[in-house]
Structure 1
Amino acid sequence: MKFVIIGGDAAGMSAAMQIVRNSSGNEIVALEKGTIYSYGQCGLPYTFTNQVESTDDLIARSPETFQQKYGIQTKSLHEVTQVDCESKIVHGINHQTNSAFVESYDKLLVASGASPICPPWSGMDDVDGIFTLKTIPDVHDIDNYLQHNVNHVTIIGGGYIGLEMAESMRGIGKEVKIIERGGQIAKIFDEDMAQSIHEEAFAQGITISFHESVEGFEGSGHVEKVITDKGTHETDMVLVAVGVAPNTGFMKGTGVYTSYNGAINVNGYMETNIKDIYAAGDCATQYHRVKERDDYIPLGTHANKQGQIAGVNMVNQPRTFKGIVGSSIIKFFNLTLGKTGLSEKEASSLSYPFETITIQSTHAAGYYSKDDPMTLKLIYGKENRVLLGAQIIGKAGVDKRIDVVATALYHRMTIDELQDLDLSYAPPYNSVWDPIQQAARKSLK
C-alpha cells in the first residue's frame, strides 16, 4: 500500500513514524514545501536570545534520517497544488526543478499545517523589514535584518508569538511597541486577568497602542513608518503576528468538508468525509471536550497527537482522538500565563450559564514565601457546578495548577470535587490547601 503525506512537520511525520512502526512492506512518501522536516516551531522565539543556541537544536530528525533509517521517502521543495480524489493522485510543483509532479496514493494524509496571516496592507511589497515568524528560515531572515541598525521593533498583534517576540526583542536590547487592534493583549484571557499582563509589559519598557488598526507602511527601501487609523509610528522593523490560517487551498474542489476558516473537518479517527483521505494538525479541526463541538486551536501538542492517531488508523489499527480542553501556557518576562477550558468571554458567547471565582494566593505556603503571588480564576456551571475553565497568572507554580484543572476538565469534574483531590504539599511548593482548592472552597461561600 502507498501512503502519501502532505507536510513534513509534527503531524505528518508523527503519522509516518506510526505507519513504519505498525506495518511493513508499505511505501511512504512525505511531500514538504520547504526543506526542513520535523522541527519545534514553538522554540523559534527563544533562538534570538540564545536560550536556544541554534535553530539546528529545534530539528528532531533530518530528511536523511527519515529516509535512510526508516525508509520514508522525503521529497523536499514539493508543493502540492491539487488533489484528485477520483483518481487518487496528488499534483504539485517541484521547486528544485521548477517542474510539475504527480504522486498516486492509496491513502492520503493532509498535514499541511498553517501559515501566518498577513493582511494586504499598503506598502507591504515596497519596503524590506516586515516579517512573520513560523519557520526556521523566518528566524534566519529576521536575524540577518537585525544586524542592520535596528533599534526599534514594532509588533502587530498581542497573541502568543507577539508576546514571546516582545520579550525576546527586549532581551536583546531593542525598543518594542505592540500595536493591538482590540483593547487588550493576550485575548484568550478575560479582561480582568489581562491587566496584570499589561502591567508586566509596561514594567519591562514595552509600549502598547490599543484600539488601533494598521493601514500600511512607508519607507525608503526599508520600513520606517507604520501607518494606522490613528497616526504614524516610526520603526526600524515590523513583526506581523495577527494569527494563522490553515494551508488547505489545494483541497478546493475535492468535496472535503472544511470549517469556517478552511480547517479540514475530521472525525475521531482523523478521517475526512472522503474515503482514504485523513487530516491532522494545524490544517484540521480539533474536538473540544468542554464546548462539545469542533474547534480550531492550532498547537504542537494537538498536531503530534492527531498525527500519531492518523498514522495508526491509516494502517487499520483503530484509535480515536479524545479531544482537547484548550490548555495553553506562555512565559512573559517574570510572569507565567496559563489558561485551560473556557474563558468568561467564551462561555458567554456559547450562552452557558456560569459563575466565576477569582482569588489571590501564593505559589508556596504564605508563611514560607510571600514573593510568589498568583491570581487564579475558575469558571464553572451555574446550576451543575461543572468546571468550565481556569486562568492562572503568577511568577511560579502556574504550570502545575493549570494542568490539574485541565485534567479535571477532561474528566468533567465539578468545582466541588477539586477539594477532594490529593495534591502534593510541602511549604516551598504549596499550602495545605492548593490555590485551586482555595478557590473551590471560596465558591461555596
Structure 2
Amino acid sequence: MNYVIIGGDAAGMSAAMQIVRRDKEARVTTLEMGGIYSYAQCGLPYYIGGLTPDSESLIARSRDTFEEEYGIDARVYHQVTEIDPDSKTVRGTNLKTDEPFELSYDKCLIATGAAPVMPPIEGKELDGIHTLKTIPDAERILEDMKANVLNVTIIGGGYIGLELAENLVEKKKKVRIIDHADRLGSGYDKEISAEIEKEAKRMGIEVCTGQTVERFSGDGRVSEVVTDQDSYRADMVVVAAGVTPNTGMIDRSRVHTLDNGAIIVNAYMETNMPDLYAAGDCATQYHRIKEKNDYQPLGTHANKQGRIAGMNMCGAAQAFQGIVGTSIMKFFDLTVGKTGLGEQEADEMNFTCDCDAFEGHSHAGYYPDNEPLLLKVVSHKVTGHFLGLQAVGRRGVDKRIDVAATALYHRMTMSDIENLDLSYAPPYNGVWDPLQQASRRVK
C-alpha cells in the first residue's frame, strides 16, 4: 500500500507512525514544505523568551529518525500545489530545486496545518515585520531583536500575541498590543478578559484595543504603526492575527470545506473523496457540546486526529470522539483557561442559559498562599446540563478546567458536578471545590 502524507508535523507524523507500526509492508512518503519535522509550535514563544534553551529542544523526532529508524521517505521543501482524487495523484514543487514532482497514492492524508494570517496592511513588506508559526520564524525574530530593538508592537491579543508579549517583557522589551477587538483575550467572556487586561497593564504592556491597523511606515524598516486612531513608534512588529487552514492545494468545488477553508471530515478523518483523509489544523473538529463541526486548531487535537487518521488509513476502525473546546495559557502570574461554551458562544447557539461569575479560592482559606479564583460557569436553564467553564487566577485553574472538561465529555448536569467526589486537603482545596460551589449557585 502506497501512503502519501502531506505535512510533517503533529497530525502528519502521528499518522505516519501508526501506519508503519500497523502495516509492515507500507510505503510511506511524507511531504513537508519546510525543512523541519515534528516540532512543538506551542513552545515558540518560550524559545524566544529564553525559557526553552534552543530550537532543538522543540523537535520531537528529526527527519533522520523517521527515515533511518522507521523507513519513512521523509522529504523536505516539497510543497504540494494540487491533489487529484480521480487519478489519486499529488503534484507540487521541490522548493530547493524549483522542479515539479508527482506522486501517486493508494491513500492520502492532508495534514498541512494552518498558516498565520497577514492582513493586507500597507507596508507589510518592510523589514522588521514578522509572523510566528515555525522555528525559522522564531529564529528570525531572535536575530532581528539584536538590531537595537526596544519597542515591539504585537498585532493581536489572542493566545500567541499574549504569550509572546509575556516573553518579550521578560526579555526587557517595551511591548504594545494593538487589537481591533474591544478587549484583550476577546475569545473569553468579559469577566475573564478584564483580568487578562489588568495583568497586562500591571506588567507595563501598553494596551490599544478597538483599533484597526491601517499601515506600517518606515524607510526600508518599520518604524511606525498607524491605526485608525493613532500612530505608534515600533522597532519591530509581530503580527499575531490568527491562522487560516492551509488548504490551497485542494479543489474546494470538490472537497467539502467550511467557509474558512477547513476540510470537513467525518469521525474517521475521511473527506468526501475516496481514500483522501485530513487531520489537524487544516481540518474540522466535531464539537460535542455544539453537536456540529467546528474549527479550533490546537496541538492536542492535531495529535489525536493524526493518530486516528493513520489507524483508519491502514484498516483499523477508530473514531475521533470530538472536542469540548478546552484550552489554557499562562500570562505572567495568571493562568487562564476555558472549556465548553462561554456566554458568547452559548448566545450564538441560541441556548437558554444560566451564566454566573463566582469568586472562589485556590485552596482552604486558612492554609498559606491562598489565592482568589474567578470562575464563569454556563449551564442550560431547562435541562440543567453543564455547558462550560472559564477560569482565571494565580493557582488552581488547571485542576478546575480539567475536571470541567471531563464533566462536559460525559454530558453531566450541575447536580452531577456537585456530587463528584473530588480530592480535598487544605493545601489543595476546600471541602467544597469552587466548581462545586459555583454549580450550586446556578442549578
TM bucket (normalised to shorter chain) is over 0.9
Alignment of 1:13-412 (within 5 A): 13-125=13-125, 127-252=126-251, 255-369=254-368, 371-412=370-411
Give the match's secondary structure for 1:25: coil
For 1:258 and 1:443, how far apart are their aligned partners in 2?
38
The alpha-carbon deviation at position 310 of structure 1 amounts to: 0.2
Amino acid at match of 1:6: I
1:237 partner letter: M
How far has the Cα of 1:377 moved from its partner?
A: 1.2
User: How has the CA–CA distance of structure 1 residues 147 and 389 changed in structure 2, closer, same or farther, with 3 Å as cutoff?
Assistant: same
Secondary structure in 1 aligned to 2:120? coil
Counterpart secondary structure, 1:274: coil
TM-score by length of structure 1 reads 0.98
Residues of 1 paired with 2:130 and 2:166: CA distance? 17
Distance 1:358 1:370 in 2: 22
- CA deviations on 1:213-252 (whole Å, 9 max, x unpaired) are 0011000121000011112111100010010000101102
Q: C-alpha distance in 2, partners of 1:213/1:201?
A: 20
Q: Deviations along 1:234-274, whole A, 9 cap, x unmatched?
A: 11000100100001011026711000100000000000000
Structure 1 residue aligned with 2:429? 430
Give the Å deviation of 1:369: 3.3
Q: Deviations over 1:177-229 (max 9, x none)?
A: 10010111111211122111111111000011111000110001210000111
Identity %: 53
Query: Which one-letter code corresponds to 2:349 in the other structure?
Result: L
Cα displacement string for residues 120-172 of structure 1 (whole angstroms, at most 9, x for unaligned residues): 110112x2000000000001100000000000000000000000000001000
- What is the SS of the residue equivalent to 1:428? coil
Instruction: Please list the CA deviations of residues 10-45 of structure 1 after superposition, one character each: whole Å capped at 9, or x if unmatched.
Output: 000000000011111110000000010000000000
Q: 1:380 to 1:82 in 2, by over 3 A?
A: same
Runs of 4+ in 1 over 6 A off after TM superposition: none
Equivalenced residues, count: 443
Compare 284-293 and 50-59 and name the one that shifted more. Answer: 50-59
Question: Aligned partners of 1:135 and 1:258: how far apart in 2?
Answer: 25
In structure 2, C-alpha distance between the alignment counterparts of 1:443 and 1:110, rounded to whole Å: 44
User: Equivalents in 1 of 2:195, 2:84: separation in Å?
Assistant: 51
| TM-score, with structure 2 as normaliser | 0.99
Q: Which amino acid aligns with 1:313?
A: N
Deviation sequence 1:326-360 (CA, Å, 0-9, x none): 00000000000010001100000110100012211
5+ residue gaps in structure 1?
none
- Name stretches of at least 5 consecutive residues in structure 2 with no aligned partner: none
Task: Classify the secondary structure of the residue corresponding to 2:21.
Answer: helix
1:49 Cα deviation from its structure 2 partner: 2.2
Partner amino acid for 1:212?
A: Q
Q: Structure 1: how far apart are the matches of 2:375 and 2:67? A: 48
Query: Which region of structure 1 is more displaced relative to structure 2, 285-294 or 248-257?
Result: 248-257
CA contact (8 A) 1:84 1:254 kept: no
Q: Is the CA contact (8 Å cut-off) linking 1:327 and 1:339 kept in structure 2?
A: yes
Please, what is the CA RMSD of the aligned residues? 0.9
CA contact (8 A) 2:156 2:241 kept: yes
Tell me the secondary structure at the aligned position of residue 297 of structure 1.
coil
CA distance in 1, matches of 2:331, 2:258: 32
